[in-house]
């Protein structure tokens, strides 16, 4: 992949992310699902954009990430890639498009890369999806792992509470992290696990570890854009820092627009031809 685009902005690559971990520079990551938002977060200087299957929740209104399809993920990813000049774009392979069948996993990853122009894919799980991960990597597609609370398995967990608090699950998570690193994954997301365990994982593996609800001792952080902007206000987990109240701002703006129309104040003479 070229590290330069037409406007000579140095693109983030897996190599740069690795160097950031080595020199202790924290990596910033955020989700985006469309052209306009991707352009804003890229301009703000974000290092990585995740076209998360959380699009199923925040864009489509589903209760879980399970219903979103490969075609829908490709649509979101294609829109995001068009808005980005610098950030490294990772796309979630959706539920049912990679687990248990490495040929299908490879086909899904190739479709995402070829049709969207994204830079990497993300998959949820450890040793149990090793074959799929290896197959995707063998085609030269960078893979990001995702351990801890893996929302595609929500019906197995039955709850969105903190994962790997017990010794046995913590041990398996650390082993899975090593498996993913050995396979050749370039990075790893840890979701909603104790900070102490996340610290141990980040110190054990050499690849960048990005946390969400995994404490401060990892190599970077990721949040869902709509959550940190205060668009989705019903979702208030402890790990979320809300940086804006866009829902409030939007309600006020649209309310004023409606009021001006009703009052026959909009459009005025200057706003007419």
The CB-of-100 to ligand KIV minimum distance in angstroms stands at 20
The CB-of-174 to ligand KIV minimum distance in angstroms stands at 19
d(CA 63, CA 95): 14
Instruction: Mention every residue, 6+ apart, whose C-beta is less than 8 A from residue 85.
Output: 5, 7, 9, 11, 42
Q: At what angle do helices 167-183 and 130-138 cross, to 10 degrees?
A: 20
DSSP string, 142-178: -EEEEEES-GGGHHHH-S-SPP--SHHHHHHHHHHHH
Paired sense of beta strands 120-122 and 48-51, if any: unpaired
Nearer to ligand KIV, 9 or 59 (CB): 59
Check if the beta carbon of residue 122 is closer than 8 Å to that of residue 50.
yes
d(CA 85, CA 6): 9
d(CA 165, CA 148): 10
The CB-of-6 to ligand KIV minimum distance in angstroms stands at 29
* Catalytic status, residue 191: yes
Pick the closest to residue 32 from 43, 23, 21 (CA basis).
43
Nearer to ligand KIV, 6 or 161 (CB): 161
Q: Please classify residue 15 by burial: count the beta carbons closer than 10 Å to its beta carbon, then call 0-12 exposed, 13-18 middle and 19+ buried.
A: exposed
What is the binding site for ligand KIV (CB under 6 A)?
31, 50, 52-54, 92, 189, 191, 212, 222, 224
The CB-of-261 to ligand KIV minimum distance in angstroms stands at 36
Nearer to ligand KIV, 177 or 222 (CB): 222
Nearer to ligand KIV, 52 or 220 (CB): 52
Which residue, chain included where needed, has tokens 């929302």? 151
Nearer to ligand KIV, 12 or 210 (CB): 210
Which residue among the candidates 63, 124, 128, 191 is catalytic per the annotation? 191
Q: Which helix (H) or strand (E) element contains residue 121?
A: strand 120-122
The CB-of-182 to ligand KIV minimum distance in angstroms stands at 22
Catalytic machinery residues: 191
């Amino acid at each position: 992949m070229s590290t330069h685009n037409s406007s000579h902005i140095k693109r983030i690559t897996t190599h740069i992310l690795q160097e950031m971990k080595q020199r202790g520079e924290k990596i910033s990551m955020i989700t985006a699902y469309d052209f306009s938002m991707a352009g804003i977060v890229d301009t703000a200087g974000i290092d990585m954009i995740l076209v998360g299957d959380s699009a199923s929740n925040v864009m489509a209104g589903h209760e879980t990430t399970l219903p979103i399809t490969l075609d829908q993920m490709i649509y979101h990813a294609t829109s995001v890639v068009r808005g980005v000049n610098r950030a490294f774009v990772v796309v979630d392979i959706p539920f049912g498009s990679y687990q248990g069948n490495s040929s299908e996993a490879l086909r899904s990853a190739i479709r995402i890369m070829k049709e969207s122009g994204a830079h990497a894919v993300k998959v949820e799980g450890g040793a149990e999806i090793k074959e799929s991960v290896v197959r995707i990597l063998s085609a030269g597609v960078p893979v990001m792992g995702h351990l801890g609370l893996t929302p595609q398995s929500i019906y197995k967990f039955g709850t969105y509470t903190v994962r790997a608090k017990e010794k046995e699950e913590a041990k398996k998570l650390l082993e899975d992290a090593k498996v993913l690193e050995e396979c050749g994954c370039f990075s790893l997301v840890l979701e909603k696990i104790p900070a102490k365990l996340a610290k141990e994982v980040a110190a054990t593996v050499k690849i960048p570890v990005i946390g969400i609800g995994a404490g401060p001792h990892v190599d970077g952080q990721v949040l869902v854009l709509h959550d940190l902007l205060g668009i989705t206000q019903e979702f208030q987990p402890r790990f979320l820092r809300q940086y804006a109240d866009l829902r409030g701002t939007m309600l006020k703006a649209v309310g004023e627009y409606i009021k001006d129309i009703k009052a026959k104040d909009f459009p005025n003479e200057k706003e007419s031809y």
